[in-house]
Amino acid sequence: MTVRTRIAPSPTGDPHVGTAYIALFNLAFARQHGGQFLLRIEDTDQARSTAESEQSIYDSLRWLGLDWDEGPDVGGDNGPYRQSERRDIYAKHIEILLESGHAFKCYRTAQELDELRAQKQEAGGFSALKFSDLELPEDVVAQRESEGASYVVRMHVPEEGVCTFNDMLRGDIEMDWGMVDCQILMKSDGMPTYHLANVVDDHLMDITHVIRGEEWLSSAPKHQLLYKYFGWDMPVLCHMPLLRNPDKSKLSKRKNPTSILYYKHMGFMPEALLNYLGRMGWSMPDEREQFSRDEMFSHFDISRVSLGGPIFDQEKLSWLNSQWIRDLSESEFVEQFIKWGLNKEALAPAIAHIQPRIERFSDVVPLAGFLLSGMPEVDETDFAHKSIEPTQMVELLQMGLWQLEAIRDWQKPEIQQRLFALAKIEGVKPKDFLYGFFVAIAGTPNSFSVLDSMAIIGPDMSRARVRHSVDVLGGISKKAMKKLDKKYRDVSAQIELQLADIDA
Ligand code: GLU
């Protein structure tokens, strides 16, 4: 048997360090066994998937030195490797399940589903929806069918009893079937859900080992059942512990930058970031902290993964990076530094802002050094503004940050539209509104266009600096955040409407 593993990211948003972490362990496992590693793009959520996000997954995994043997961009014998191009395959498999009676069409309306859930909750016990809950009398089904009502396809799951499945790191795990819904396999628009597409693809792509994040453990009973319904052997499952923030909560961008691109722009060496990810729940037999990708691969043993949640700590990562930097020869240092930020590609977008403003080249760094820096050195006093109170300042920055997080195509016009729309709703003049953003991004209100600066330094670095400023200003208390969140929902809806009008 040839070992075949895969990473199956969804191309939504920024490429996540968690994706690189899981990719690394899949690749290490495949290489250790002389097997193959493939990349599949799970883009069944068409509304949220973007081509830019897909490209940034390829770029950032390659930057880290993670290569795949098969994938949408490199081809292979088991393609297509993008789920949106495999609809016919899923439709065929849905038919198989409907014919064998393992799946059923469900004509329940959203309102009925809400009522059913409420009833179950009230009755106590498990609230998962079962066939006995969802079943409609035959004449009602016929009626809805003849009216062309929309339906989803769901899988049958046992009403009760215990499901046992095996995980490579945890051994046998038991889960009560009572907790498992009759999972939707195909949505009313004909698109498959993650569960169906994932199982069908893993089988057709000959995946032997599914190494994925712990958050998918609860999907295992459904997947095991689907393999049984199709009469297929199930790959070995291995659920990796989730990366955590230093406070042990699940790694989230609210507390830690999670985009691989952020670490690239911050000037972490790819070797160091990969090394650090390799230490998440795993260690070399001799416990050494610094090791290369190939050293990790030659000593890899997945059974040495420990299940305690590994902490992704910026300070430890920075220390490890400093070790990698110290190990560079002078010429390697120069080469890497130039490759990182002192090259034509990195500098070109800033020249139009720098050239008209300077008299000597020695003016460049004082004027534009912030473009290549990490977090600016600022404190609360830097944000003091004549007409914006500190509490309002921090709220404007936070709401601005949420708007920046909503941008899919990071260009100046959209950054401007969103932030100015927010300023208008908040009744603040654009110039005053941008004051805090100048300080957050450039470290000073006296810089060239902050909107252009954000476009140049990119989404991950811009968001990280604004987030940092919110922290510098003391953050927002839980209570205030709840209130702000509520208010923001309204504000954001208004802005989305305005943007839709502009697009139309
Ligand atoms: N598309 C899923 C994700 O985004 C894949 C999970 C899995 O590996 O099965 O993580």
How high is the pLDDT of residue 504?
64
How far is Cα 468 from Cα 473, in angstroms, rounded to an integer? Answer: 9
- Supply the DSSP symbol for 165: E
- H helical segments located in 36-77: 51-63
DSSP 3-state assignment of 236? strand
How far is Cα 275 from Cα 309, in angstroms, rounded to an integer? Answer: 17
Q: Is 486 a catalytic residue?
A: no
- Radius of gyration over every alpha carbon of the chain, rounded to an integer in angstroms: 26
Distance 212 CA to ligand 1 centre (A): 7
Within 10 A of 110 (CB to CB), how many other CB atoms are there? 7
Q: Which of 309, 308, 288, 310 is nearest to 299 (CA)?
A: 288
How far is Cα 316 from Cα 334, in angstroms, rounded to an integer? Answer: 24
CB 13 near ligand 1, within 6 Å: no
Distance 49 CA to ligand 1 centre (A): 14
How high is the pLDDT of residue 78?
95
CB 212 near ligand 1, within 6 Å: yes
Q: State how far the alpha carbon of 233 is from the alpha carbons of 199, 225, 277, in Å.
A: 11, 11, 31
Q: Which of 492, 300, 326 is nearest to 402 (CA)?
A: 492
How far is Cα 200 from Cα 104, in angstroms, rounded to an integer? Answer: 18
Residue of 120, 187, 250, 253 marked catalytic: 253
Pocket test for ligand 1, best of 7, 44, 212 (most atoms within 8 A of CB): 212
CA 473 to the chain's CA centroid: 27
Cis ω on the peptide bond leading into residue 80 (within 30° of 0)?
yes
Nearest protein Cα to ligand 1, atom 8: 212
CB 216 near ligand 1, within 6 Å: yes
Cβ contacts of 87 within 8 Å, gap of 6 or more? 190, 191, 192
DSSP 3-state assignment of 423? helix
| Regions of the chain with pLDDT less than 70 | 503-504
Q: What angle do CA 15, 21, 24 make, to 5 degrees?
A: 110
Distance 248 CA to ligand 1 centre (A): 22
Nearest protein Cα to ligand 1, atom 5: 8
Q: Per the structure block, which two tokens stand in for 222?
A: 């459904």
How high is the pLDDT of residue 503?
66
Nearest protein Cα to ligand 1, atom 10: 9
CA 452 to the chain's CA centroid: 26
CB of 407 within 8 A of CB of 451?
no
Within 10 A of 503 (CB to CB), how many other CB atoms are there? 6
Distance 8 CA to ligand 1 centre (A): 5
How far is Cα 286 from Cα 281, in angstroms, rounded to an integer? Answer: 15
